[in-house]
Structures are given as structure tokens and as C-alpha cells.
Amino acid sequence: MSLLPWQTGKVIRIANETSNTRRYWIEVPDVQAFDFEPGQFVTLDLPIHEKPARRQRSYSIASWPDGTNVFELVIVLLEGGAGTTWLFNEIKEGDALTFRGPLGKFTLPQPIDRDLFFICTGTGIAPFRSMAHHILNHNISHQNIYLIFGCRKLTDSLYGTELQELSEKVTSFQYIPTFSREVPENYNHLIRTGYVHSIYEDICRANSTQANGADAALVKPAYFYLCGWKNMIDEAKQRIQALGYDRKAIHQELYG
């Protein structure tokens, strides 16, 4: 299969999401609508090295297909990262970016006939924001959706207000953030602390008990989508299979 051609996009807006994370809106002038499937990514070609392979950086699309020719990326500044350092220091609104895409097969199941667990850390939330909005905007038939998002501090939360409001409007969608370096008693509202793993484990055990009664050893069917750093994904795969799920129920998008 031949690769998609390189295209030129125009950065039409940049906004800080956190102290070290930015949102970039990119317009594709040559098309009326930039079509993609939620969960796909684009690859940027950045002028940071002579060798093409060392210039390329891939980022999941954080927006959802809306019929326009604009898509959004959310990018964290990595310490010592040549690509993100260049993007943060050099790219301004109105500048051009060379990209290829959409790419990837990290997409929604067809049909969505069982619960969906979206498990992510950091900017790994990008494809799941896209998927959740797409499902709900188009009234696609689905079961329960659990978006379990891990980061260090409350100030690191990405799209937190938006996703919380969405979960309050749609009962089948639950947004569950957890913070590994916060202390709950420091805040006047309840927050979850710790890592993502105990959250999906508790939900799966509770769901299986409700579905099967005394025979809770039978797990309730579910799809697990993982996006983030390798350590999180490796641990999640082990824990999910230990719960009784088949490896085929697990889909991953690795960062870094």
C-alpha cells in the first residue's frame, strides 16, 4: 500500500491547555473537508534533522470529524525533545506545517456492542476525546463508555471541564480522572488519586458481579483501548488479562 502524499497545513490557532501543553488547530486549505476516523493520527515533517526518519513526529488527532477542513492536535513539551521544542519555540499562528495523514487503525469497533474502556495518560487522551464526541454527536449505538484519564496534578488535566460537562449530560459516558500526585484533603471537592489501574479493575469486577450474580468469574464483555506511555500500557495489558479478558479485547496506541 502506497503512503499518503505529504500535504501543507496552516496553523490557524494556538492555545495553552496547561503550563507545558498546547493545542494547535491546523487548516488544510486544499480540501473542503478533512476526513478521518476518530482515533487516527497525522505525521508531521519538522525541519529538525537532515534524515527524514528523524524529522517525523506523529500525533493523534484530538478533534472529531465535523465536516470542516480543520483538525486539532494537543502536544506536550518534552524535556530534551527536538520535535516539541521546535513546535513550541518556532511555530506561530499563520505558519505552515507539512503533514501526512490521516493514518492508523486505532479506531472504534463496528458495531460498539459492549462496554468501552478508554484508558489513557497525558496527551493519550486525544484519540478518546475524538471518539467520545463522535459517538455522542452521531447517536451511534453504544454501551457504557468509561474514559479513565491519569495525570500527575490537577493543573495537568486536559479537556477536564469539557469532558466533565459531557459526562453530566450523557449518562452512558463516564469521565473519570485520577491524579497521582495530589492529596484529596487539600481540595474542597472529591478527587480521585493514584493511578488508572485500580479504577478499571474495580469497575470490571463490579460489572461482572452485577451481570453474572454468584458466577462473577464470568467477565462482562468489554473493549479496552489504551493510549499513553509504554509502562502504563504494559501494566494495563497484564492486569486486564488477569481479570479474565482475552488479549484480542485490548487495543493500544503507544506514545514515545
Taking residues 191-216, report their average pLDDT.
Answer: 81
Place 185 in a pLDDT band, splitting at 50, 70 and 90. low
Q: What is the pLDDT of residues 210-255, one digit of tens each?
A: 655 555 567 899 999 999 989 999 999 999 999 999 999 999 998 7
CB 156 within 8 A of CB 17: no
- Architecture in CATH for domain 7-103: Beta Barrel (2.40)
Three-class secondary structure of residue 53 per DSSP: helix
d(CA 58, CA 105): 14
Q: What's the alpha-carbon Rg for the chain, to the nearest Å?
A: 19
d(CA 115, CA 221): 7
- Do the domains 115-255 and 7-103 match in fold? no
For residue 106, count other CB atoms closer than 10 A to its CB: 20
Q: What is the mean pLDDT of the chain?
A: 92
Residue boundaries of the structural domains of the chain: 7-103, 115-255
At the topology level, CATH places domain 115-255 in Rossmann fold (3.40.50)
Residue 194 scores a pLDDT above 60: yes
CB 26 within 8 A of CB 70: yes
Place 1 in a pLDDT band, splitting at 50, 70 and 90. very low
